[in-house]
Amino acid sequence: MLKKILLFVSVFLLAACSTSEESVPVMEEEKTTQSESVESETEESVTEELSKDYSQFTSIEELLTATIQEFGLNPEAVSVAYYNYQTDTDFFYNERSPMLVGSVTKVGVARLYADLIADGVMSFETELPYSDALFEEGAGPVTNGEKKASYPLYELFYNSLALSDNTAFNMLFSYYQQIYGNVQESLLNLSGLSFDQAEYTTNNMADAQMILNILLPVATEDKYSYILTSLSGNTEAEYFKKYVQEGMFTKYGSIGGSLHDSGIYMEDGEPVYALVVLTNGQGNVDEFLATMNLRMNEWGKFQQQNTQTD
């Protein structure tokens, strides 16, 4: 039943958005390849050969520390949370350091609505009202298209997650806040973590482990499958997706001079790992984020190769 709903939603979304200035991309599995430009060892495409000699590292922490040093970043201003679905192992680094995380929380808000849909409280066709007070300049057809009195949830999902449409997200945030309760508190509860610091009560404050916990079920629970469908519409080869495009489902966040990324990597329809990297006031970290995901991706492949040869 859910697959039929998702198929209907995807087709209807394309038709509904065809009159806007920007049409929604076709939601099918991406066929893009790795970047072919080579500026350094980390800019090589991910093939069966790894771009780095990982035998020099005895742990994932050594790999991370070396990469932070390589890019000249402040170690205390970087937070990492990683989980490998296949080996049921995780890795954390400064994971409980609260930061403003920007659009990274859009996945969490989508989960809140997906739970309501699964509980029968709402449906993908439920219309949310628009008002000019919710308008925010930026990308996306809701922001830049001719305004409607209301928009269905599936359209707001897709535009918020795939196209980072802030107006679409503001509609989701505002409606939930008015009807169902405080969004920030709901996201904190969704993560299943405890929070002792008052900083977390401010909207958009989160930490790497909180974002990871919110992200993990998206790849494993059927009720969140349309979130993955929406994330697949992000076709920009940047940040986590610069070097690992195929199978990468991501949502980045940029706010106050800080840049973050979060994502799930899948192979053959099965989740392999989830990764969250947050940075705080470190300037241009585009290449750092891209390199970190490449190396975490290849580290897993390296570990798997070693296990097979032992």
Task: Give domain status of residue 197, yes or no.
Answer: yes
In terms of DSSP bridges, do strands 205-206 and 150-152 run parallel, antiparallel, or are they unpaired? unpaired
CATH number at residue 267: 3.40.710.10
The structure tokens listed for 104 are 């990274």
Task: Give domain status of residue 23, yes or no.
Answer: no
The structure tokens listed for 159 are 């535009």
The structure tokens listed for 113 are 């609505």
* pTM for this model (two decimals): 0.84
The Cα 120–Cα 172 span in angstroms is 18
Task: Give domain status of residue 146, yes or no.
Answer: yes
DSSP 96-123: T--EE-GGGGHHHHHHHHHHHHHTTS--
Question: 3-state class of 292 per DSSP?
Answer: helix
For the chain, the domain total comes to 1
The Cα 279–Cα 211 span in angstroms is 13
Which residue has tokens 């994971």? 95
Domain boundaries, position 273? 57-308
The structure tokens listed for 160 are 């918020």
Task: Give domain status of residue 186, yes or no.
Answer: yes
| Dmax (CA) of the chain | 62
Task: Give domain status of residue 8, yes or no.
Answer: no
Task: Give domain status of residue 273, yes or no.
Answer: yes
Task: Give domain status of residue 276, yes or no.
Answer: yes
Task: Give domain status of residue 37, yes or no.
Answer: no
**At CB < 8 A and 24+ separation, what contacts does 11-15 make?**
12/154, 13/154, 13/155, 13/158
The answer to whether the beta carbons of residues 105 and 187 sit under 8 Å apart is: yes
Q: Note down pLDDT in tens along the chain; length 310 residues.
A: 444 444 444 444 444 343 333 333 333 333 333 333 334 444 444 345 888 999 999 999 999 999 999 999 999 999 999 999 999 999 999 999 999 999 999 999 999 999 999 999 999 999 999 999 999 999 999 999 999 999 999 999 999 999 999 999 999 999 999 999 999 999 999 999 999 889 999 999 999 999 999 999 999 999 999 999 999 998 889 999 999 999 999 999 998 889 999 999 999 999 999 999 999 999 999 999 999 999 999 999 998 887 765 5
